[in-house]
Amino acid sequence: MNDKSKVIKVKKNSEGDITDVMLENGNVYSIDEAITMAKDHLIDGVNVAKARSGREYLRSNPNGDEGDNLDNKPTF
């Protein structure tokens, strides 16, 4: 049984940075919570990457489909 949920919507700040994510189950998590959950393999289809600055961020698993990139998800 797969208890993982996928990101279906995102919330962005005025700079366009993702601040929160909504999962299929309707739960909303801050980006920091989502990063921790992704590290614990609790969110399907994403991974944690590290920017040159050292800041961690959430990204979609590469699959050649830009439509499911987190930046292209609907907002809420």
Position 9, amino acid: K
Distance CA 18, CA 13 (A): 7
Mean pLDDT by 10 residues, the chain (76 residues): 84 96 97 97 96 96 84 95
Distance CA 6, CA 24 (A): 6
Helices (H), 1-76: 31-39
pLDDT at residue 67 in the model:
74
Contact 46, 38 (CB under 8 A): yes
Contact 59, 49 (CB under 8 A): yes
pLDDT at residue 1 in the model:
44
Does the pTM exceed 0.85? yes
pLDDT at residue 2 in the model:
61
- Residue ranges of the domains in the chain? 5-72
pLDDT at residue 26 in the model:
96
